[in-house]
Structure 1
Amino acid sequence: MSNAMIADPGFDYANAPMPPHDMVAEQAVLGAMMLSADAIGEVTEVIDVGDFYRPAHAAIYQAILALYGKGDPTDALVVSAELERRGELQRIGTANYLHTLMATVPTASNAAHYAQIVAKKATLRRVGEAGTRIQQLGYAGVQGADEIAAILDQAQAALDTVVDDRSTNSGYTLFAEMRAARLSALDDVQAGRVEPGLPTGFLDLDSITGGWKPGQLIVVAGRPGLGKSTLAVDMARTASVKHGKTSVIFSLEMSEAELWDRIVSAEGKVRIRDMKTPHTLQPSDYDRIADALDRIESGGPLIIDDTPTTTVAQIRAKARRIKARHGLDLIVVDYLQLMTSGARAENRQVEVSEFSRQLKILAKELEVPVIALSQLNRGPEQRQDKRPMLSDLRESGALEQDADVVILVHRPEVYEDDSPRAGEADLILAKHRGGPTATVTVAQQLHYSRFADLALPQS
Structure 2
Amino acid sequence: MHLSAPLYRLKREARLLSREAGIPLAAALDRIAAREGHARWSLLAQRVAERSPAALIHPRFRPGEMILVAARPGQGKTLLALELALAAMKAGNRAAVFTLEYVEREVEARLERLGARGALKDLLALDCSDEICSARIMERLQGCAPGTLAVIDYLQILDQRRDTPNLQTQVAELSAFARRSGAVLVFVSQVDRSYDPALKPLPDLADLRLPNPLDLSLFDRAVFLQAGRLRVVQCGGEGK
TM-score, normalised by the number of residues in structure 2: 0.68
Q: Show the counterpart of 1:401.
A: 217
Aligned-partner residue type, residue 402 of structure 1: L
Aligned-partner residue type, residue 195 of structure 2: P
**Counterpart-to-counterpart distance in 2, 1:293 and 1:215:** 27
Aligned-partner residue type, residue 407 of structure 1: V
User: In the alignment, which of 182, 188, 205 is matched to residue 390 of structure 1?
Assistant: 205
Secondary structure, counterpart of 2:93 in structure 1: coil
Q: Does 1:247 align with 2:95?
A: yes
1:359-394 CA distances to partner (integer Å, 9 max, x unpaired)? Answer: 211211222111111111013237534521210011
Q: Does 1:235 align with 2:54?
A: no
Q: Determine if contact 1:309/1:340 at 8 Å carries over to the other structure.
A: no
**Counterpart-to-counterpart distance in 2, 1:436 and 1:304:** 34
1:398, distance to aligned residue in structure 2 (A): 2.6
Question: CA, structure 1 residues 366+229, in 2 after alignment: closer, same or farther (shift >3 Å)?
Answer: same
**Counterpart-to-counterpart distance in 2, 1:229 and 1:253:** 10
Q: Determine if contact 1:214/1:368 at 8 Å carries over to the other structure.
A: yes
Aligned-partner residue type, residue 199 of structure 2: Q
Q: How many residues align?
A: 187
**Counterpart-to-counterpart distance in 2, 1:432 and 1:391:** 11
Q: Does 1:264 align with 2:112?
A: yes
**Counterpart-to-counterpart distance in 1, 2:102 and 2:154:** 10
Give 1:19-98 correspondences, 5 Å limit. Answer: none
User: In the alignment, which of 211, 214, 217 is matched to residue 63 of structure 2?
Assistant: 214
1:339, distance to aligned residue in structure 2 (A): 1.6
1:340, distance to aligned residue in structure 2 (A): 4.8
Q: Show the counterpart of 2:39.
A: none
1:98-151 CA distances to partner (integer Å, 9 max, x unpaired)? Answer: xxxxxxxxxxxxxxxxxxxxxxxxxxxxxxxxxxxxxxxxxxxxxxxxxxxxxx
**Counterpart-to-counterpart distance in 1, 2:98 and 2:163:** 22
Question: CA, structure 1 residues 393+341, in 2 after alignment: closer, same or farther (shift >3 Å)?
Answer: closer
**Counterpart-to-counterpart distance in 2, 1:399 and 1:376:** 16
Q: Determine if contact 2:64/2:182 at 8 Å carries over to the other structure.
A: yes
Q: Determine if contact 2:70/2:188 at 8 Å carries over to the other structure.
A: yes
Q: Show the counterpart of 2:118.
A: 294
Give 1:142-153 correspondences, 5 Å limit. Answer: none
Q: Determine if contact 2:68/2:188 at 8 Å carries over to the other structure.
A: yes
Question: CA, structure 1 residues 342+398, in 2 after alignment: closer, same or farther (shift >3 Å)?
Answer: closer
Q: Determine if contact 1:248/1:303 at 8 Å carries over to the other structure.
A: yes
Larger fraction in strand: 2
Secondary structure, counterpart of 1:308 in structure 2: coil
1:2-42 CA distances to partner (integer Å, 9 max, x unpaired)? Answer: xxxxxxxxxxxxxxxxxxxxxxxxxxxxxxxxxxxxxxxxx
Q: Determine if contact 1:380/1:389 at 8 Å carries over to the other structure.
A: no
1:243, distance to aligned residue in structure 2 (A): 1.6
Give 1:31-430 correspondences, 5 Å limit. Answer: 201-203=54-56, 205=57, 211-240=60-89, 242-267=90-115, 293-294=117-118, 296-297=120-121, 301-320=123-142, 323=144, 329-340=148-159, 343=162, 351-381=166-196, 383-395=198-210, 397-411=213-227, 425-430=228-233
**Counterpart-to-counterpart distance in 2, 1:338 and 1:398:** 13
Q: Determine if contact 1:408/1:428 at 8 Å carries over to the other structure.
A: yes
**Counterpart-to-counterpart distance in 2, 1:223 and 1:233:** 17
Q: Show the counterpart of 2:234.
A: 431
Aligned-partner residue type, residue 401 of structure 1: S
**Counterpart-to-counterpart distance in 2, 1:220 and 1:246:** 19
Question: CA, structure 1 residues 431+397, in 2 after alignment: closer, same or farther (shift >3 Å)?
Answer: farther
- Unaligned 5+ segments in structure 1 are 1-199, 268-291, 412-424, 439-459
TM-score, normalised by the number of residues in structure 1: 0.37
Larger fraction in helix: 1
**Counterpart-to-counterpart distance in 2, 1:354 and 1:383:** 35
1:436, distance to aligned residue in structure 2 (A): 5.2
Q: Determine if contact 2:63/2:147 at 8 Å carries over to the other structure.
A: no
Q: Greater relative contact order (Cα 8 A, min sep 6): structure 1 or 2? A: 2
CA RMSD, 1 decimal? 2.8
Larger radius of gyration: 1
Q: Determine if contact 1:331/1:371 at 8 Å carries over to the other structure.
A: yes
Q: Determine if contact 1:410/1:428 at 8 Å carries over to the other structure.
A: no
Question: CA, structure 1 residues 334+372, in 2 after alignment: closer, same or farther (shift >3 Å)?
Answer: same
1:431, distance to aligned residue in structure 2 (A): 2.5
Question: CA, structure 1 residues 400+237, in 2 after alignment: closer, same or farther (shift >3 Å)?
Answer: same
Q: Show the counterpart of 2:44.
A: none
- Unaligned 5+ segments in structure 2 are 1-52
Q: Show the counterpart of 1:34.
A: none
1:293, distance to aligned residue in structure 2 (A): 2.5
Q: Determine if contact 2:61/2:184 at 8 Å carries over to the other structure.
A: yes
